[in-house]
């Protein structure tokens, strides 16, 4: 009798349970070593930048904590990553120091063109309570191409 009752409980849990399906499948687009990786979900509605924070270099810390990685997830359309890649390459070719701010509902992505040939990403994540911009490693044109899966 106990076996029948147990079987009934398991069956009713499966039969009447509610399931939610979400797409958390990420495809790696590209990376530059382990310092920064770019992912896109399979339906191309979100992208994720996984990175190590290089903000602490020179601020009394001389090494990067490889155990502390961060991610910035943002909403996209099917061509967002291609447009972002094109924008970064165009600005790098201008060889001018500047900072661009891209506003996403999840937070702000700053493109810091800090030297003639380098850009770093900086993030203000609205989901966190930190008043801090985390910074990626500097990327030149070849590194940007690797990150975006080009060449």
- Specify the pLDDT at position 63: 56
- Specify the pLDDT at position 124: 85
- Give the single-character DSSP code of 70: E
- Specify the pLDDT at position 21: 43
- Give the single-character DSSP code of 137: P
- Specify the pLDDT at position 111: 97
Average confidence (pLDDT) per 10 residues, the chain, 151 residues:
45 42 78 94 95 68 64 94 97 96 93 94 77 85 97 77
- Specify the pLDDT at position 45: 95
- Specify the pLDDT at position 74: 94
Report domain extents, the chain. 22-147
Cα separation values, 111 from 23, 54, 150, Å: 28, 14, 19
b/e sequence 18-35, b meaning 16+ C-beta within 10 Å = eeeeeeeebeebbbbeeb
CATH of domain 22-147: 2.30.31
- Specify the pLDDT at position 17: 42
């Amino acid at each position: 009798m106990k076996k029948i009752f147990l079987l009934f409980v398991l069956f009713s849990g499966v039969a009447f349970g509610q399931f939610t399906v979400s797409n958390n499948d990420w495809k790696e687009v590209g990376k530059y070593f382990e310092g920064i990786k770019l992912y896109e979900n399979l339906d191309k509605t979100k992208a994720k930048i996984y990175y190590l924070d290089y903000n602490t270099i020179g601020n009394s810390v001389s090494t990067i904590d490889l155990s502390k990685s961060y991610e910035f997830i943002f909403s996209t359309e099917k061509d967002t990553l291609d447009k972002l890649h094109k924008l970064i390459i165009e600005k790098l070719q201008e060889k001018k120091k500047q900072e661009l701010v891209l506003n996403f509902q999840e937070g702000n992505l700053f493109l810091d063109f800090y030297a003639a040939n380098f850009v770093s990403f900086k993030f203000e994540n609205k989901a966190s309570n930190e008043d801090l911009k985390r910074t990626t490693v500097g990327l030149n044109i070849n590194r940007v191409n690797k990150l975006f899966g080009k060449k």
